Chains A and B, each alone.
Chain A
């Protein structure tokens, strides 16, 4: 019965449809559709993310809403299927005064929705996934890969390896293997790693693994043969635990493996347990933090009263729960920023929320007040820069839980920015888009 509230909201909304937007609902509510995958092959990842998203939105309501504007939360199940995600998006976009921002949580859905968002005036907030080049706000007006993208993650890994070797120049002649999920997601880091390989003179070996990634014998035979100095693991779902088990069987040291952030959460390592000890992953920017103020507040204000979303309060503070919460937090702060310009206590429309997300300025003081101090670094966006931050950390699995094991690492803007620009320009040329000008940024 923990999801009673949400279910109640869903049922009422479903039964009443948009007509009930009058009357009791007339008291200003900002509509928050949530696309989640609690069933299907990737549910182990999808459940904690969705719990985090919904828990934080509920928490905002408990705190009194955004300047008094309560959030109306509705979940829709996508099963991590692109067609179903599109169906959910279409189903929810015009309900209850209209959606203003959507978090797709899937690469395929992000691609498809990127084409639809501009006509619907709905911002897509994709924390650390989706198109890396969508950080260019002049071309991707409605995409927000906030707080780092795959390229930031990959660059942070290279820098961390460099530091471990005693300087980036020591990477010359080293062999680094990228074991990746053979899909657009898995291929995202390749251009950056190739660029770095050229600069630092290391040897990059690309080892694709066919989705879903349960068959990796051939890949690890290659690893056994070539003995790369480091392995970067760009996997998703079952591929990660399989890779760690194969590494154990091959005798490849786990502490020389670095995962993407999708390969650095509890579901990836829990089953492997001790055997994954020492395995690293990039934390973009959060890791697990059960002592974060927001996690404690969620336990106290939601779970203590039986209003929590997750099956157990132990999940609160896990990597993916915190990531979901962080994603909701930036969305809510975007709306708050919009309210500060367009009217406090009012329901914002799509254009206004987009402006808010473009003009985020999350200072340390604000983050501390929201309970996210130490979870992420200060973040500020602009019309041009929809990412807002180039920072990441490395986390390490100690056999039982994830722990931060490095200082903050800043991805090299000198490398990233030209890449983002050229990839975005290519997209614009294919789509025949013209970049936004200064006047459009003010709207």
Chain B
């Protein structure tokens, strides 16, 4: 009834091709942005910022990058943690070694380091496909783990191999408060999400999808596989590297190489699979599912048990959290193998017909 595009006529190509052609969607997105940029900073507590919102925003960004590679271009990668690590250590080295370099420049150059690293480890994709490529990208993960543990130059010769970043400032303003950190990460996420959405709608995104759906056919109609695959690796690892730099600088502050272990690669892979392959929206759903849900379960279970007059220990809550989380993953994948994003669009479709389904 409310969600219906009847009467919204498009009179130009421009209007027809905008990201959100339906007015209701535009209003919803505008409201969402207002909430994210204005309401949340005014109302959220410091716990919400530093423990939930900042990791959620950064992981959404990383999942977005992974989704471009896996969801749009069909190149399965298990090296996302490595790209994050390269981004983080790259930005760290630039900010420590180049005096007076602005934070934004260091972060972007960190992303560029990850991009080069991604292109290098994307080369095998020209020869191997599918699961074999996943194994090849796993090499990137182990290589990065080894590199940051072994090569002392990257960690500024710190004996233990752990690094700490100096205080964050932007144009002379301190970015040390939780709100400032959150807003900075959110701005980066919004800009990157907009750019990514436009990329995947454009010629290059269509090339990626053509390669994903059938690379031989794509090559026949004149798409260069090498260019398409490596550009997907480049864009994706740039975004993941940027997310890694933010994770190190804005969330952890100081880290050891194990902060970017295989564990984080797998988490990112789960995010895009559960969120929805080949969907920008899916990255957000996936990140919310993997980052926020375990914490919500961990805090919610004792309360729910408390309502029924039971007490559970932290150990029991932690075990229950893992079990429920695992069961939910399986359940979602059975109910909707195309991920949460697909559920969302099905819901939207139903809403359009409501209350008169035919």
Which A residues lie within 8 Å of B305 (CB)? Answer: 11
**0/1 per residue, B141-162, Cβ < 8 Å to A?**
0000000010000001011111
Which partner residue on chain B sits nearest A185 by CB separation?
B160
Nearest A residue to B162 by beta-carbon distance?
A: A184
User: In the complex the two chains form, what is the Cα distance from A131 to B163 in whole Å?
Assistant: 11
Among A8, A114, A211, A426, contact of B311 (Cβ-Cβ < 8 Å): A8
- Which of B45, B46, B251, B319 interacts with A39 by CB under 8 Å? B319
Instruction: Return chain B residues, CB-CB under 8 Å to A77.
Output: 298, 314-315, 317-318
CB of B303 within 8 A of CB of A90, answer: no
| Interface set, chain A 223-260, CB cutoff 8 A to B | none
Report the separation of the CA atoms of residues A83 and B54 in the bound assembly, to the nearest whole angstrom.
11
* Chain B residue contacts of A93, Cβ below 8 A: 47
A7 near B166: Cβ-Cβ < 8 Å = no
- Expressed in whole angstroms, the Cα–Cα distance for A111 and B317 within the complex equals 27
Question: In the complex, A11→B315 CA distance in Å?
Answer: 13
Give the B interface residue count (CB, 8 A): 44
Instruction: Tell me whether B259 is interfacial, beta carbon within 8 Å.
Output: yes
- Report chain A residues within 8 Å CB of B312: 7, 11
Q: How far is the CA of A115 from the CA of B167 in the complex (A)?
A: 9
Whether the Cβ atoms of B47 and A94 lie closer than 8 Å is yes
**Partner-contacting stretch, out of A264-272, A392-400, A402-410, A427-435:** A427-435
B252 at interface (Cβ–Cβ under 8 A)? yes
Query: Does A22 count as interface, using CB distance less than 8 angstroms?
Result: no
Set B160, B311, B314: member contacting A187, Cβ < 8 A:
B160
Q: In the complex, which residues 1-45 of chain A have their Cβ closer than 8 Å to any Cβ of chain B?
A: 3-4, 6-8, 10-11, 14-15, 36, 38-39
CA of A107 to CA of B161 in the docked complex: distance in angstroms?
12
Across-interface contacts of A364 in B (CB, < 8 A): none
Asked if A119 and B176 sit within 8 Å, CB to CB, the answer is yes
Interface residues of A in 61-85 (CB under 8 A from B): 75-77, 79, 82-83
Residue contact A4 to B164, C-beta cutoff 8 Å: no
The verdict on B187 contacting chain A, using a C-beta distance below 8 Å, is no
B124 interfacial by beta-carbon distance below 8 Å: no
Q: Which residues 86-144 in A have Cβ within 8 Å of B in the complex?
A: 86-87, 90-91, 93-94, 107-108, 111-112, 114-116, 119, 131
Given contacts A39-B318, A77-B314, A112-B253, contact A87 B259 (CB under 8 A): no
* Contact status of A87 and B258, CB under 8 A, knowing A182-B149, A184-B162: no
* Count of residues in A whose CB is under 8 Å from the partner chain: 49
Does residue B44 face the partner (Cβ distance < 8 Å to A)? no
A38 adjacent to B149 (CB under 8 Å): no
Complex Cα–Cα for A99 and B161 (A):
30
B215 located at the interface, meaning its Cβ lies under 8 Å from any Cβ of chain A in the complex: no
Known A8-B311, A82-B259, A91-B299; 14 more pairs at CB < 8 Å: A11-B302, A39-B322, A77-B298, A83-B251, A87-B51, A91-B51, A94-B45, A112-B255, A183-B161, A187-B161, A188-B160, A191-B159, A430-B164, A430-B166
27 contacts between A and B (CB under 8 A): A6-B313, A7-B313, A10-B314, A11-B302, A15-B303, A38-B315, A38-B318, A39-B322, A77-B298, A77-B317, A82-B255, A83-B55, A86-B50, A91-B299, A94-B47, A107-B256, A111-B252, A112-B254, A112-B255, A115-B252, A115-B253, A188-B160, A191-B159, A423-B159, A426-B158, A430-B164, A431-B166
Q: Using a CB–CB distance below 8 Å, which chain B residues touch chain A? A: 45-47, 50-52, 55, 96, 149, 156, 158-162, 164, 166-167, 176, 251-259, 295, 298-299, 302-303, 305-306, 311-315, 317-319, 322
Q: Which residues in A have some Cβ–Cβ distance to B below 8 Å?
A: 3-4, 6-8, 10-11, 14-15, 36, 38-39, 75-77, 79, 82-83, 86-87, 90-91, 93-94, 107-108, 111-112, 114-116, 119, 131, 182-185, 187-188, 190-191, 208, 211, 423, 426-427, 430-432
